Amino acid sequence: MDSAGLSPRQLALRVGVSGKTVERWVSDSELIPHARNREDACKALGVDEEMLWPKAVKDRIKTGGDREIIRSYPYRSSCPSSVWGELVASAEREVFFAGYTNYFLWIDQPAFATTLRQKLDSGCRVRFLLGDPDGEVTRNRESVEEVALTVSTRIRITLENLEKLGAHEGLETRFSAASDAVNHVSLSVFRFDDDALVTPHLARLVGHDSPLLHLRRHAEGGMFDRFAEHAEELWSRGTPQRQTIA
């Protein structure tokens, strides 16, 4: 503050807090202001945050398994559709949609069928793992959700769009096995090469109201690998569905 020629009161005015708050920052080295206040204070003083609050910077640096969590969202619907689009567009080897219905992709992503064709033409593998629309778990889930757009209808929307997409080398669709359906309906895994979006489904909530994690693979056996292995195991026991040429 001396170097910047600012008193506690003047800095407080720049940051939008009280003078006493700034005095507490100075007197208590363990006190860490809110992120926005830290940013504004650093701009006013012309210094880096690490100089004033090194602990805050250190706490933001992820180590171990935490490095694989890119971002978390309290609702799947709060994850921007552009994130999904960018992940699909950037995938070169593998796109794996292991949601129970996957129907929202056709609604939220512009020209989704065209994007998938481009992926397939470039040699990217595209897989859809779906719940059985006539399965017992599907019927039970419908009674739990009690929404107009039923689970079986949402699955059939995906099947209809895949039928329109037609048969392509590299495009595969399976229904999860009856023995795996409960596990499948409870957890959706969407993989794009070394990125994944994971949604654990909560109680009566439909997918867009459940939380979502964006993961990126950093090391063997991390969170990404564990969710990817879960989806692969369900896939290995699934029933292949044939796409006919539209």
Cβ-contact 75, 212 below 8 angstroms: yes
Domain ranges (residues) in the chain: 8-60, 65-241
Residue 245 has pLDDT above 60, yes or no: no
Same fold, 8-60 and 65-241: no
Q: Is 65-241 a domain of CATH 3.30.870.10?
A: yes
Residue count of the chain, please give it.
Answer: 246
Quote the pLDDT of residue 167: 86
pLDDT tens digits, one per residue of 202-225: 776 666 788 999 999 988 999 999
How sure is the predictor about 63, in pLDDT bands with cuts at 50, 70 and 90?
Answer: low
CATH class label, 8-60: mainly alpha
Radius of gyration of the chain (CA): 24
Looking at the chain, which runs of residues are DSSP E strands?
69-73, 94-98, 125-130, 171-175, 187-192, 195-200, 212-216, 239-241
Main-chain phi, psi angles of 199, to 5 degrees: -125, 110
Which residues have a Cβ under 8 Å from the Cβ of 64 and sit 6 or more positions away?
none
Residue 246 has pLDDT above 50, yes or no: no
pLDDT tens digits, one per residue of 97-139: 999 999 999 999 999 999 999 999 999 999 999 999 999 999 9
With the C-alpha atoms ordered 82, 83, 86, 87, is the resulting torsion angle positive or negative?
Answer: negative
